């Protein structure tokens, strides 16, 4: 009997700024978020665009903040002739702890297949980063009743490439594509159901890791819908896009994760 699986997982709230912001915004927003999280117990991570990682890291260090730093993507390659790519080692060097892999915008806009996403997951861990692997179905897939098949297929590709033990150092984000940036969030019931399927799949492979792994939800999370979503049994935090660009809305969500 694994006792850990009955312990509550520390919630993780990650702000994915996507391709937004500039130097001044990165400094100001980092400071404002830091001020607001001092009394909270959730782990809070900022995920700015690559050019602002150092700026955010300096603001975190200057303030001796407990904010974590993550990046939005990494290369499958370790180094060499890959113009425009950023390696996991570079992200580590800049002070990142986390990196997103397989965000649906990258799967769609950059044709990242399940195999590429799995390779990025492996590359992240090889560099010492904790990958946050994003899974999610499109509206057409949901309407065709394929949600679990699609999401678990995306997960299985990572398990096949990296092994189940790798999920001891990883986070899973369930982000229904139709809920991202649309203002249309999954209902708590819809989200909880997919989160439970994801956790069951991990548990099938390792009960211990299934109980420990954090599965966070993303897709139009706002301060008003966060309490209901974040209170679901298998939802361990949020991956926040639009609402992470304003300190007040991001902090409102962080407060709901208590």
Q: Which residues bind ligand PGA (CB under 6 A)?
A: 16, 175, 180-181, 218-221, 239-243
Query: Any catalytic annotation for residue 103?
Result: yes
Question: Between 103 and 203, whose beta carbon lies closer to ligand PGA?
Answer: 103
CB of 175 to ligand PGA, least distance (A): 6
43, 105, 175, 195: the catalytic one is 175
**Would you give the distance in Å from CA 165 to the centre of its chain?**
19
- Of 28, 23, 84, whose CA–CA distance to 51 is shortest? 23
Nearest distance, CB of residue 118 and ligand PGA, angstroms: 19
Tell me the residue nearest to ligand PGA as measured from the CB.
241
CB-nearer residue toward ligand PGA: 52 or 217: 217
For residue 104, the minimal CB distance to ligand PGA (Å) is: 7
**Helix 23-37 crosses helix 247-256 at what angle (to 10 degrees)?**
30
Phi, psi values for residue 43, rounded to 5°: -80, 130
Helices (H) and strands (E) in the chain, counts: 11, 8
Q: Give every CB contact of residue 235 below 8 A, 6+ residues apart in sequence.
A: 191, 192, 195, 215, 216, 217, 229
**Active-site annotation holds for 111:** no
153/181 with CB nearer ligand PGA: 181
Residues designated as active site: 103, 175
């Amino acid at each position: 009997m694994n006792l850990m699986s009955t312990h509550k997982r520390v919630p993780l709230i990650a702000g994915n700024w996507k391709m937004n912001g500039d130097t001044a915004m990165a400094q100001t927003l980092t400071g404002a978020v830091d001020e607001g999280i001092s009394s909270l117990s959730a782990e809070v991570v900022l995920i700015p665009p690559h050019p602002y990682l150092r700026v955010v890291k300096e603001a975190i260090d200057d303030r001796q903040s407990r904010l974590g730093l993550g990046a939005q993507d990494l290369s499958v390659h370790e180094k060499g002739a890959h113009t425009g790519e950023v390696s996991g080692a570079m992200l580590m060097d800049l002070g990142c702890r986390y990196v997103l892999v397989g965000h649906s915008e990258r799967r769609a806009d950059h044709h990242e297949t399940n195999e590429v996403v799995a390779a990025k997951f492996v590359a992240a861990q090889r560099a010492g980063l904790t990958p946050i692997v994003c899974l999610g179905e499109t509206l057409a897939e949901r309407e065709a009743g394929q949600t679990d098949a699609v999401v678990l297929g995306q997960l299985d590709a990572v398990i096949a490439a990296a092994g189940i033990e790798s999920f001891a150092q990883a986070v899973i984000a369930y982000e229904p594509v139709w809920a991202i940036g649309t203002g249309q969030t999954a209902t708590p019931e819809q989200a909880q159901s997919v989160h439970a399927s994801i956790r069951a799949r991990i548990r099938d492979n390792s009960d211990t890791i299934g109980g420990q792994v954090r599965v966070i939800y993303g897709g139009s999370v706002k301060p008003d819908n966060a309490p209901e979503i974040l209170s679901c049994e298998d939802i361990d935090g949020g991956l926040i896009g639009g609402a992470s660009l304003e300190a007040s809305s991001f902090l409102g969500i962080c407060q709901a994760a208590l």
